[in-house]
């Protein structure tokens, strides 16, 4: 009994920093359980999840342009359960990130700094950390793989810059590399940009090899080092592509293989190239093209490699991961805040590693030259991040107002109606029409425009394969959509007043078989063969 208490005491003393942050994550996420159905992407996920619950096949019967896991996660009864799932997921991700910090840093100060940045940036509404976006689920998978990879004592010691002989480096086991690959591969099944997190994790062995290699032994050892790096890259790649291969086989088995390739995988190339920037400077405009960004990325990794003999591999790895994650976040050049969530783990790790060395400098165990070199690289990165942020006009959501509004709502200072309207002014209309639709026990609904939140709110699924009008227009699926409408004949149709995309055949069909049922501020509700305006 006494021995168990001593072990528990020792464990608590070792992990109290992590235990301190778990209630912080939980408390900061509590307001998310009270949010209305207001956010478009979350509405799409829940709408598709509900369609899957009704037996539809993903990509063949219901379509969006992301890889599949986010939609299967959304097969939950309600938005609240989706938020509960996200909370549990991020509590786990915080644990994986803490494990990585413990493996790669030496001081509690560094762990506190890293966890603070990670927790605030992935939880507060500023970067949409309160919403179940794909980036947060990707983070969980990637950090799980990374935690396993860095948990190995040999890997952690070599990443800290410890000198080691080649026999030692060759004793790094392959199974953590395989698991890290599988974990990141599951992240790919949430969002394709997880591919760049995979590249970052494989750079671990590249920097270990560069650090272990000594100029005097280059001729004798370079083949051994190259073999070491290639073997681990191949094992990681095998693990990474395993989930993708299984998913392809699965969708082919249910008759949705070609649609999966078209919408889940290949559509991302189209999505990342159809956003206009409006930048007049030709050089700056070129830098934000895919070739331009690739050149900057490769140049950055090459410059980082030049410091391989001066800085420990963990710092070089974190900086490389930051560059790859930023490249992934900028693939489409869209200024959506949640894209930057992918940059948070490596950036928080980078700051934690620098903090660790600052503490070492104060204790006179880390030379001033290392601190200055690390500071130079970090300043360059954060300057580039700030420049990108301003150039692409990235926006953020106000965190103070978010929590203040929730406090007012929780203390009955404002009504539920006013609280909901502060998220999105369409909430009043949506909740009214959802009552009408759900009272008729209608399963299908068609919305012409962009209002995917109404599907899960009313418990309905989309008529046809698409949840929003811009997907229909982007894929030129007008004929298919009209055909599905004629076949399914939904009782209700919602036409958004702000939708400008021309669809004359749809409106001809609407006027012939449907009548305005109720007028709202943001849309008109039509019902099949009924006139009831009031």
Q: Is the pLDDT of residue 7 over 90?
A: no
User: According to the model, what pLDDT value does residue 14 have?
Assistant: 67
pLDDT surpassing 80 at residue 132: yes
Is residue 220 scored above 70 in pLDDT? no
Confidence category of residue 74, pLDDT binned at 50, 70, 90:
very high
Chain center to CA of 286: 26
**Burial class (CB within 10 angstroms; exposed 0-12, middle 13-18, buried 19+) of 49:** buried
Give the per-residue pLDDT at 162.
65
pLDDT of res. 282: 78
Average pLDDT over residues 340-362: 91
CB 40 within 8 A of CB 336: no
pLDDT-based confidence at residue 534 (cuts at 50, 70, 90): very low
Tokens encoding 354: 């620098």
Mean pLDDT of the chain: 87
pLDDT-derived band at 221, boundaries 50, 70, 90: low
Distance in angstroms (rounded) separating the CA atoms of residues 338 and 372: 32
Q: Would you state the pLDDT for residue 105?
A: 87
Q: Confidence band (pLDDT; 50, 70, 90) for 273? A: low
18-56 confidence digits (pLDDT tens): 888 899 999 999 999 999 999 999 999 999 999 999 999
Residue 447 has pLDDT above 70, yes or no: yes
Max avg pLDDT among 96-110, 266-280, 301-315, 414-428 = 414-428
Which runs of E-coded beta strand occur in 5-155?
none
Per-residue pLDDT for 278 more than 70?
A: no
Instruction: Report the run of H or E that residue 525 belongs to, with start and end.
Output: strand 523-528
* Longest CA pairwise span in the chain (Å): 88
pLDDT for 200 beyond 80: yes
| 320, 203 Cβ separation under 8 angstroms | yes
For 93, half-sphere exposure in the C-beta direction (CA atoms, 13 angstrom radius) is: 29
Strands 492-496 and 514-519, by their bridges, are: unpaired
Which of 192, 254, 239, 219 is closest to 66 using CA atoms? 192
Report domain extents, the chain. 2-34+65-391, 425-528
Residue 524: strand pairing partners = 495, 519
pLDDT exceeds 60 at position 157: yes
Q: What is the pLDDT of residue 297?
A: 86
- Please name every residue paired with 58 in a beta bridge, in sequence order, or none if there are none: 62
Which run of H or of E encompasses 322?
helix 313-329
- Which spans in 60-104 are helix H? 69-73, 79-104
Q: 352-376 burial by CB neighbour count: b if 16+ within 10 A, else e?
A: bbbbbbbbbeeeeebeeebeeebee
59: left (phi > 0), else alpha (psi -120 to 50), else beta? Answer: left
From residue 71, how far is each of 75, 133, 189, 405 by CA, in Å? 7, 11, 10, 30
H or E stretch at 517: strand 514-519
pTM: 0.91
Min mean pLDDT across 292-296, 323-327, 363-367, 450-454 is at 363-367
Q: Which residue has the higher pLDDT, 71 or 308?
A: 71
Torsion of CA 175, 178, 179, 180, to 10 degrees: 120
Q: In whole angstroms, give the CA distance from residue 9 to residue 16.
A: 10
Measured distance CA(458)–CA(521) in Å, rounded: 18
Encode 307-319: b = buried (16+ Cβ within 10 Å), e = exposed.
bbeebbbbbbbbb
Smallest CA-to-CA distance from 188 within 141, 132, 148 is with 141
Q: With 90 as the cut, is the pLDDT of residue 79 above it?
A: yes
| DSSP3 helix / strand / coil % (the chain, rounded to 5) | 70, 5, 25
Residue 146 has pLDDT above 50, yes or no: yes
What percentage of the chain has pLDDT greater than the value 90? 55
DSSP code, position 172: -
Task: Give the per-residue pLDDT at 308.
Answer: 75
What is the structure's pLDDT at 271?
67
Buried b (16+ CB within 10 A) or exposed e, 115-129: bebbbbbbbbbbbbb
Rounded average pLDDT over 269-274 = 66
Whole-angstrom Cα distance, residue 513 to residue 429?
A: 24
Reported as type and span, the H/E element at residue 515 is strand 514-519
Q: What is the pLDDT of residue 268?
A: 73
Q: What is the pLDDT of residue 13?
A: 60
Q: Give the pLDDT band (50/70/90) at residue 163.
A: low
Instruction: Write the pLDDT tens digit of every residue in 375-409.
Output: 888 888 878 878 888 788 888 899 999 999 999 99
Question: Is there a contact between 209 and 316 (Cβ–Cβ < 8 Å)?
Answer: no
- Alpha-carbon span 46 to 43, nearest angstrom: 5
User: How many CA atoms lie within 13 Å of 186's alpha carbon, on the beta-carbon side?
Assistant: 17
């Amino acid at each position: 009994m006494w021995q168990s208490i001593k072990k528990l005491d020792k464990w608590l003393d070792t992990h109290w920093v992590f235990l301190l942050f778990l209630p912080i994550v939980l408390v900061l996420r509590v307001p998310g359980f009270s949010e209305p159905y207001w956010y478009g992407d979350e509405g799409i996920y829940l709408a598709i999840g509900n369609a899957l619950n009704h037996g539809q096949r993903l990509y063949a019967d219901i379509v969006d342009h992301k890889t599949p896991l986010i939609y299967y996660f959304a097969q939950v009864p309600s938005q609240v359960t989706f938020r509960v799932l996200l909370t549990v997921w991020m509590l786990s991700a915080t644990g994986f990130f803490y494990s990585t910090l413990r493996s790669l840093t030496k001081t509690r100060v560094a762990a506190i700094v890293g966890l603070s940045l990670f927790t605030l940036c992935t939880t507060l509404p500023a970067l949409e950390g309160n919403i179940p976006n794909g980036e947060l689920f990707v983070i969980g998978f990637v950090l799980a793989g990374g935690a396993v990879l860095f948990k190995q004592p040999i890997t952690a010691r070599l990443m800290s810059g410890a000198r080691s002989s080649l026999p030692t480096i060759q004793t790094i086991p392959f199974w953590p590399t395989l698991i890290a690959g599988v974990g990141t591969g599951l992240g790919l099944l949430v969002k394709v940009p997880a591919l760049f997190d995979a590249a970052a994790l494989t750079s671990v062995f590249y920097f270990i090899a560069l650090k272990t290699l000594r100029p005097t032994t280059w001729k004798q050892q370079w083949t051994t080092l190259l073999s070491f790096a290639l073997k681990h890259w191949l094992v990681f790649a095998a693990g990474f592509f395993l989930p993708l291969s299984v998913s392809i086989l699965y969708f082919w088995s249910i008759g949705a293989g070609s649609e999966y390739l078209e919408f889940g995988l290949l559509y991302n190339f189209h999505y990342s190239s159809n956003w206009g920037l409006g930048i007049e400077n030709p050089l700056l405009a070129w830098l934000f093209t895919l070739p331009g960004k690739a050149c900057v990325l490769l140049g950055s990794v090459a410059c980082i490699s030049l410091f391989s003999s001066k800085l420990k591999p963990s710092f070089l790895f974190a900086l490389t991961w930051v560059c790859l994650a930023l490249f992934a976040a900028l693939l489409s050049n869209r200024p959506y805040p949640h894209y930057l969530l992918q940059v948070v783990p490596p950036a928080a790790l980078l700051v934690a590693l620098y903090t660790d060395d600052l503490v070492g400098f104060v204790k006179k165990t880390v030379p001033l030259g290392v601190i200055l070199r690390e500071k130079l690289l970090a300043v360059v990165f954060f300057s580039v991040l700030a420049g990108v942020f301003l150039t692409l006009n990235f926006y953020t959501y106000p965190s103070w107002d978010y929590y203040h509004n929730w406090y007012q709502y929780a203390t009955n200072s404002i009504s539920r109606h006013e609280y909901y309207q502060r998220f999105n002014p369409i909430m009043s209309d949506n909740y009214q029409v959802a009552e009408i639709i759900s009272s008729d026990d209608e399963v299908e609904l068609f919305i012409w425009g962009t209002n995917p939140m109404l599907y899960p709110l009313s418990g309905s699924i989309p008529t046809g394969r698409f949840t929003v009008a811009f997907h229909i227009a982007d894929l030129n699926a007008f004929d298919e959509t009209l055909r599905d409408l004629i076949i399914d004949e939904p009782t209700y149709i919602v036409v958004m007043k702000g939708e400008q995309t021309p669809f004359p055949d749809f409106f001809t069909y609407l006027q012939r078989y449907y009548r305005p049922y109720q007028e709202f501020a943001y849309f008109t509700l039509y019902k099949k063969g009924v006139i009831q305006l009031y």
